[in-house]
């Protein structure tokens, strides 16, 4: 029988957090779990999910995925590679 996942708000990892950071730990009855870092920069809140089990699925909206991929494209300096990557990205997003 499955149970609700647990969230530990003061795990050992939080001892090593920066002054403006909070780390929480999550886990499920099947042993899956990981860490979430909340980092307040003063201008924005950065959320990182890391050290998670292979069977943890992290979902983002299509809009968030598109923005992340567009930022990646903007970082590519080789114009020919950028064009090829944009074409592949467009094909992926259409499919």
Per residue in 21-69, pLDDT (tens digit) is 999 999 999 999 999 999 999 999 999 999 899 999 888 888 888 887 8
Q: How many domains does the chain have?
A: 2
Note the pLDDT tens digit of each residue in 65-76: 888 788 777 766
Calculate the dihedral angle through the C-alpha atoms of 42, 45, 47, 48, rounding to the nearest 10 degrees.
-30
> Whole domain around residue 72: which residue ranges?
62-94
Same domain, 70 and 37: no
DSSP 44: -
Residues with Cβ < 8 Å from 93, sequence gap 6 or more? 66
Same domain, 43 and 67: no
Question: Would 57 be classed as within a structural domain?
Answer: no
Question: Would 14 be classed as within a structural domain?
Answer: yes
Same domain, 11 and 45: yes
pTM over 0.95: no
Same domain, 42 and 13: yes
Would you place residue 20 in the very low, low, confident or very high pLDDT band (cuts 50, 70, 90)? Answer: very high
């Amino acid at each position: 029988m499955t149970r609700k996942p647990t969230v530990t708000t003061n795990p050992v990892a939080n001892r090593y957090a920066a002054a403006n950071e909070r780390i929480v730990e999550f886990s499920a009855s099947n042993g899956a779990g990981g860490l979430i870092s909340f980092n307040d920069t003063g201008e924005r809140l950065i959320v990182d999910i890391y050290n998670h089990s292979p069977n943890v699925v992290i979902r983002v909206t299509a809009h968030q995925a598109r923005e992340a991929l567009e930022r990646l494209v903007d970082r590519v300096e080789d114009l020919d590679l950028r064009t090829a990557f944009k074409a592949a990205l467009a094909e992926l997003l259409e499919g």
